[in-house]
A and B are shown apart, each in its own frame.
Chain A
């Protein structure tokens, strides 16, 4: 499965951001994932400890926020909720819709602890 490859991509982003922010440790990683992202949350969670081992995010908590699946109808112009294999308009049932949200696979935010060394240096 491709979840391990995605997790490794996530870790390289997390490490770069932690370095930019002089963080000594990443405490939580929050992802935003839609039902049409093509990623299984459980498989991602299984791959996560393997990919994060030995990195600045070793032991960090992985939080996943689900983004809703919503479509905008090109016929009636209204928005509605949808299912992954049924993206038709919830109002007029036309299938000519556009996805408003639900295919995201995003690193939303990181919570980090600052490097103590950097803080000490800053005081001097």
Chain B
């Protein structure tokens, strides 16, 4: 992510855009021009970093699940909950335009789910996630899954404070999605070809071609074939989850974060 405080967003590609006249330049008409060079997502990125500090201070890994609508994010979560059993303590933040249906599916497995209904908003942003995080008892959790709004465009622009992005590409959608949605697939730390049990019938989906399109985005993320329904690939997914949790714990231990300010936290401050 770009940062607005240290100047690291000034790159070889854009430094010529900063006028040579310095921060403030008077034009002939008496008007003033101010160089800003500020990310439009500054407020969101700031809130996202804050969320990340919340997660890190409790050693919690946050995973942002993104895909088209209907690619199987909730089914993956249900299968993950059942497969992991007591190995990790999980919670889910559900983003949808309307309904609590997905949150109810998660809750039926005995896992805490906080529903964010975005109304007309096509993506989650860091402020929405922050509000949801304060309805979770992070001290009692290992992994928080954030199920983003089903959409391959807008969610890619908003950092939520997650540690990893998992992007699902379901086999019925077609293998050229990474070429069509480069911003989304470039952000993926893990790509799951979901509903892969359908590959024998949907033989125009070529997994090698999907991976080739992903590599064209200079993305080194692992690509795994999964089916939440048949259980295919679930071990690969769980192994990746375990190593992500392990790596995060290690990096948090090496670089402890101070998250010192108080939040009004009515639900848990009494505990």
User: Do A and B belong to a common assembly?
Assistant: yes
Q: Is the CB of B179 within 8 A of A2?
A: no
Chain B contact residue count (CB 8 A cutoff): 46
Q: Which residues of A contact B40 (CB under 8 A)?
A: 6, 9-10, 13, 31, 105-107
- Specify the chain B residue showing the minimal Cβ separation from A31: B40
Answer yes or no: B253 CB below 8 A from chain A CBs: no
- Specify the chain A residue showing the minimal Cβ separation from B38: A107
| Minimal beta-carbon separation of A104 from chain B (angstroms) | 6
Q: Is the CB of A5 within 8 A of B13?
A: no
Q: Is the CB of A106 within 8 A of B157?
A: no
- Specify the chain A residue showing the minimal Cβ separation from B4: A106
Q: Which residues of B contact A113 (CB under 8 A)?
A: 30-32
Per the bound structure, the CA–CA distance linking A109 and B24 in Å amounts to 10
Question: Which residues 37-77 of A sit at the B interface, judged by CB distance below 8 A?
Answer: 37-39, 65, 67-68, 70-71
Q: Which residues of B contact A97 (CB under 8 A)?
A: 218
- Specify the chain B residue showing the minimal Cβ separation from A12: B43
Answer yes or no: A17 CB below 8 A from chain B CBs: yes
Checking B38, B153, B216, B218 against A106 with a beta-carbon cut-off of 8 angstroms, the contacting residue is: B38
Q: Is the CB of A108 within 8 A of B37?
A: yes
Against B, the Cβ 8 Å flags (1 = close, 0 = not) of A86-124 are: 111000000111111111111111111110000000000
Q: Is the CB of A104 within 8 A of B153?
A: no
Q: Is the CB of B157 within 8 A of A39?
A: yes
Q: Which residues of A contact B213 (CB under 8 A)?
A: 85
Per the bound structure, the CA–CA distance linking A10 and B213 in Å amounts to 33
Q: Which residues of B contact A101 (CB under 8 A)?
A: 11-14
Against A, the Cβ 8 Å flags (1 = close, 0 = not) of B126-167 are: 000000000000000000000000000110111000000000
Q: Of residues B13, B31, B158, which shows the largest number of chain A Cβ atoms within 10 Å of its Cβ?
A: B13
Q: Which residues of A contact B41 (CB under 8 A)?
A: 6, 9, 105
Q: Is the CB of A9 within 8 A of B42?
A: yes
Checking A21, A65, A102 against B17 with a beta-carbon cut-off of 8 angstroms, the contacting residue is: A65
Checking B35, B37, B44, B153 against A1 with a beta-carbon cut-off of 8 angstroms, the contacting residue is: B153
Per the bound structure, the CA–CA distance linking A99 and B36 in Å amounts to 23
Q: Is the CB of A107 within 8 A of B37?
A: yes
Q: Which residues of B contact A6 (CB under 8 A)?
A: 40-41, 157
Per the bound structure, the CA–CA distance linking A9 and B126 in Å amounts to 13
**Assuming the A-B contacts A2-B158, A5-B125, A6-B40, are A27 and B31 also in contact, with contact meaning beta carbons closer than 8 angstroms in the complex?**
yes
| Minimal beta-carbon separation of B153 from chain A (angstroms) | 7
| Minimal beta-carbon separation of B75 from chain A (angstroms) | 26
Q: Which residues of B contact A37 (CB under 8 A)?
A: 157, 183
Q: Of residues B36, B42, B158, B216, which shows the largest number of chain A Cβ atoms within 10 Å of its Cβ?
A: B36
Answer yes or no: B199 CB below 8 A from chain A CBs: no
Checking B11, B12, B13, B182 against A84 with a beta-carbon cut-off of 8 angstroms, the contacting residue is: B182
Q: Is the CB of B14 within 8 A of A98?
A: no
Q: Which residues of A contact B157 (CB under 8 A)?
A: 2, 6, 37-39, 105
**Assuming the A-B contacts A2-B158, A71-B218, A84-B182, are A110 and B34 also in contact, with contact meaning beta carbons closer than 8 angstroms in the complex?**
yes
Q: Which residues of A contact B18 (CB under 8 A)?
A: 108
Per the bound structure, the CA–CA distance linking A67 and B2 in Å amounts to 15
Per the bound structure, the CA–CA distance linking A10 and B43 in Å amounts to 10
Task: List B residues at the A interface (Cβ < 8 Å).
Answer: 2, 9, 11-14, 17-19, 27, 30-44, 121-123, 125, 153-154, 156-158, 178-180, 182-183, 186, 213, 215-218, 220
Q: List 5 A-B contacts (CB under 8 A).
A: A13-B36, A87-B218, A88-B218, A95-B216, A107-B39
The 8 A-B pairs at the shortest CB distance, nearest first, are namely A101-B13, A2-B154, A38-B157, A38-B183, A87-B218, A85-B182, A85-B179, A97-B218
